[in-house]
Chain A
């Protein structure tokens, strides 16, 4: 049996596989019009006719939303609440934009239908749905060409009978039906409805895609990556497709977590800088999750790895604005025309600034396969510098520090704004442009070390291959601390656990391999944000744990105040086999002679420094790299500035001390 991890990216589809003890990597061009093509051809290339187990990170659900190419979806709500999905939270995202427009709802007004029924906050039915009314609705749905249906009633998480009843009648139509209490059993109707609608909108696409892979590869051993960093079976992914949204970046973070842990680093900030944007995430002895995720402005209330994105990358365009300030981004030169140094671009970008300062080597760009034009940069920089009092070199360094400031802001959002000190973390850098900025960024935030993994390009595929099988369940219970005593809460977990065990068994996990993690979402009465508190074997102290966590997160707690238990949360996990990486022996601090490819002048802090050019492939465990140095890899360049010192660890990772 061959294990294969597959990550579909914009340009390449990456494969990593394990055949017995042998690990291998394969990369082919993606086939955006039908992503299954690249996936199938890769599987065939790697395994031939052998048995395979595949874990796949798919962008099908994400793209269906971003490109608005999902199914024709209908929404059924309580009568009088059909527009909740369009009203949203009634605010504008840009307060000074006089022509502000919301993203149009995934379900237009003529596909939204109200049913006369209602459940109140105690879960009592005030009015039951009338079967005749639903039957009548079936005809309308058919006439309007519905391909998928979302049902979201108020307080369905308290009492799902109305949704179930309607769902049962709708099943006659033989199209997918998403019931809100099954997708996310939590309060806040707009966010729950949006999640359910998104699921209904993407699942037909996903079903079609996954069916074609299983059918054509003749193999149904297919697992799909979720945005919570775990995987699920293809069958589940077809029903609950919303859980796969944004799973690509999640794979990278899980990969960083695994590689970091093996090397002895469990507090990481991941930094994935690409051409147009940068993704950052925080790992504090475990992955961090958010319940406030959005895709293209639509809230998606399923637990996701907390990844924060900023519009700054290698292609970000720099310019002096009309007030005399140096701006970098959010506009990007993209791949076409691209930066000035690609030959066609007319706007100086971050990549151009790096090249101008000598931090990129034109001959080595993408393994020397792409020609760069450094000669043009001087003219453009000179033009931009005019009237600013800066030299071209100062301007180029300035562009980099402004870009770093934007990324620093992103890192602050996930650390400082969550009450954590970045100085206690290691910056884990991957992605094409990250290596040129990571060390400088670390210095800005007093982060002592930068970690650059051995194979940064396939980190996401590694993450997928090693991801556990994870199922998340939640339930709004809204108890105060008196009714919410330990025994009561434990009882409330029972149905969730039963579901977890059944569904993990369905995923092929042995009972002995299952782990159940329980959490409570708690808050002080009157608050409307909850803190996730571990709920474990100890009978009495979850209230105390909440006070302590509240203090840690927000700087104060109040033991006099009444505490509420809002949601209970269960994560059912089945362990996947983790890759074992062999340690290599520490050879020597000194680089082997063939590792040094030459020397060049590079500017740091306004001065030109003689800088060694080193081939990353030729480095051995134990090697020490003194700054200033440039390390060349196929897809990226790593800059070790004069103030930093790098060391290759036993797994081939590079650890740079700042």
Chain B
């Protein structure tokens, strides 16, 4: 077969529409506000070898980790028609336990024994058990973080396995919500399977497979062209994670980026060893962060697929904070360490591409989980949310204020939706004035979010950039560090970046998120 530029474009559109339609289905049918209101999920299409063909632009941190999950599933499963496999094990392609992936094979003919394609989606569940509500604990081992799901067949021959489902639901705090979200994830895959089959019917399976692979070549070609424009050389940078919520502080992440022609080798092996607390990132997260950085340097609108990975070689050392080994605690690696990995990559690349790279963004997701029993109806609740902040300034403009940056892009929960659902009163939600670093272009400002409890509850906060501010570039000032404050009986108490505490009704949690770094001087 010869590549026809017309069909190449037609398939580019069709594959992206399929992953987007899966996302629409998942979003519309999911139960939890975390998925529906915040859209913390991703959907993608894979070829028979588990090579990613297209991913809907949802959440960057799922970029590299989805393919690893799918490959782990393919290696461990023999599929039949109508099966689906679920997993969240961070050491088998997952990222952290709340992110649950569901993979479905696509068979074309009744008697095919191997799948023709795969579709998959990943969604963040607001509770998967473990030591604290919301399953984002200050843990010291994976066993405290919730239920670990190795690749297992949740759907067999088109039917949900009730025994497995019951087992899972018995291990989480909010089973009704989980069940609804699982159903939505399954529906999204059913939609994807149907659409891939229709495509194969229309164009023949061989043509679909051929163009899926040509689209991977296509993205590879454009990625290589982008890398080619980076001056050859070795670029280094290091930054730190402030603490792990236990004893360890100033945990180093160090990168060396070697650019040679149209390929690049990224070496994180000099980073610090994994730590007791939950900020360890598994390899999949580091890979996602690397991909995000290079994908964002590509100006063309290309499918994000396996081709984008090919010119990039990633080196890590097992047992480090960027390639954690079992049974490390990893809840925060996905949300916090991923941001710092991005900061180190851009910090290094700034030397090679001063006009294309931003100063540091807020560099945290400000995870907040609150759980307990709602005294109004005596029912358990878990609330999980992340809060935006400032973006770093660039050579083109000021950093945007009050948005999520880099590895996440989740929506906020409307104050009115929050107060209807949870025993809270939100007492402030505003932009944190003058928190962006000054420069020729200023960093974006952070957010202030203040929540007053109506019921007693336990709160867990996982945040960073509370002592070491987001860096500015070329003389631009750093952004302001974030602050976590508890107000009890009118008395303010400053809390560290990571804390867990049991609170009483009328206590107030105030989170001030960091600003972004500034760019050059005026």
Contacts and interface: CB of A to CB of B under 8 A. Distances in A.
Given A84-B429, A86-B401, A526 B5 contact: no
A388 B8 CA distance: 12
A212 B58 CA distance: 48
Contacts of B187: 554-556
Interface string A407-445: 001001000110000000000000000000000000000
A187 B413 CA distance: 12
Contacts of A80: 427-430, 450
Interface string B202-245: 00000000000000001101100100000000000000000000
B356 interface: yes
Interface in B412-447: 412, 414-417, 419-420, 425, 427-431, 447
Question: A394, A397, A409 — which one has the most chain B CB atoms within 10 A of its CB?
Answer: A409
A402 B9 CA distance: 7
Interface string B285-296: 000000010011
A405 B13 contact: yes
B414 A189 contact: yes
A405 B6 CA distance: 10
Interface in B390-417: 391, 394, 396-397, 400-405, 409-412, 414-417
12 contacts: A81-B415, A90-B402, A91-B403, A92-B404, A100-B403, A121-B419, A154-B419, A326-B5, A389-B2, A397-B6, A401-B10, A526-B31
Interface residues of A, number: 66
A556 B225 CA distance: 46
Interface stretch (B32-40, B73-81, B482-490): B32-40
Contacts of A44: none
Question: B402, B416, B419 — which one has the most chain A CB atoms within 10 A of its CB?
Answer: B416
Contacts, number: 194
B96 interface: no
Nearest to B410: A91
A325 interface: yes
A95 interface: yes
B515 interface: no
A99 B221 CA distance: 24
Interface of B: 2-6, 8-10, 12-14, 17, 21, 24-25, 27-33, 36-37, 39, 57-58, 60, 176-177, 180, 183, 187, 190, 218-219, 221-222, 225, 292, 295-296, 298, 300, 302, 356-358, 387-388, 391, 394, 396-397, 400-405, 409-412, 414-417, 419-420, 425, 427-431, 447, 450
Nearest to B37: A528
A272 interface: no
B430 A83 contact: yes
A167 interface: no
Contacts of A322: 221-222, 225, 300
Contacts of B425: 118, 120, 126
A87 interface: yes
Interface in A457-509: 478
Given A89-B412, A91-B403, A326 B420 contact: no
A83 B4 contact: no
Contact of B403 (A102, A389, A528): A102
A587 interface: no
Interface string A536-567: 00000000000000000111101001000000
B484 to A, nearest CB: 18
A527 B184 CA distance: 11
Nearest to B401: A86
Question: A187, A325, A389 — which one has the most chain B CB atoms within 10 A of its CB?
Answer: A325
Interface string A113-154: 000001011000010000000000000000000000000001
Given A99-B358, A100-B403, A324-B218, 7 more contacts: A91-B403, A98-B358, A187-B417, A189-B416, A324-B3, A416-B21, A526-B31
